[in-house]
Structure 1
Amino acid sequence: MAVKDVVGRYGEDLAARSLSAAGWEVLDRNWRCPVGELDIVAREGGEVVFVEVKTRRSDAFGGALAAVTPHKMRRLRVLAGQWLAAQGRASGRSGSTWSR
């Protein structure tokens, strides 16, 4: 496994543990479809949150936020819709309770 993959996996594990420790429920990790991949899907109360994890060993190429470009944000919105559709939900704003 390449070093970047190990670093990425470490960051995702850390993010998932941090979310769980804060009381969030991790619904999915590394969910894939033809459009791409969602790192973490979590729920806090009635809100479903799509988490993009960017782990950097240094800021030599910019901070993690710099890696989330407008193009990446558009793709994340499409992926979120795909995930919701796969769960049988049209949107994250339904009045019903989310369950796994």
Structure 2
Amino acid sequence: MKNMHLGRRGETAAADYLARLGWTVVDRNWRCPEGELDIVAFDGTRHVVCEVKTRTSTAFGTPLDAVDHAKAARLRRLALRWAAAHGVPGASVRVDVIGLVTTGDGFTFEHLREVC
């Protein structure tokens, strides 16, 4: 339960971060039989699937370390599913990862663009 709460807080903070960048969040927690996408946003040019990883520390690596090649490939497949369901050309969708680490009352952010 504690991890779910942390994950929700992280996703909300990531959505707020994207809004501060001027992006529009168009979907959150989109699900299909193969899995879930945390956030889909529009950066003004392209749709961007954002995987959000939130941690309380970096003792076991950064949040971005949790996205390996297999996870990135899965995110790409889900991004293509989302695009097909929304009439968006799949080639125009990119996948980013946003890593958050708690800092008392807030988060530090790492934003890795175009992981696949």
TM-score w.r.t. length of structure 2: 0.76
Amino acid at match of 1:25: T
CA positional deviation for 1:92: 4.9
Aligned to 1:32: 31
| RMSD over aligned Cα atoms | 1.0
Aligned to 1:56: 55
CA positional deviation for 1:90: 3.4
Aligned to 2:70: 71
Greater share of strand residues, 1 or 2? 2
CA contact (8 A) 2:79 2:90 kept: no
Amino acid at match of 2:16: R
Uncovered stretches (5+) of structure 2, i.e. residues with no partner: 93-116
TM-score w.r.t. length of structure 1: 0.87
Amino acid at match of 2:38: D
Amino acid at match of 1:31: W
Q: Deviations over 1:4-43 (max 9, x none)?
A: 0000000000000111121100010010101111000000
Q: Which has the larger radius of gyration?
A: 1
Uncovered stretches (5+) of structure 1, i.e. residues with no partner: 94-100
Amino acid at match of 1:77: R
Q: Distance between the aligned counterparts of 1:35 and 1:57, measured in 2?
A: 28
Q: Distance between the aligned counterparts of 2:54 and 2:38, measured in 1?
A: 12
Q: Distance between the aligned counterparts of 1:76 and 1:15, measured in 2?
A: 17
Q: Distance between the aligned counterparts of 2:89 and 2:71, measured in 1?
A: 22
Q: Distance between the aligned counterparts of 1:28 and 1:46, measured in 2?
A: 16
Q: Distance between the aligned counterparts of 2:88 and 2:49, measured in 1?
A: 15
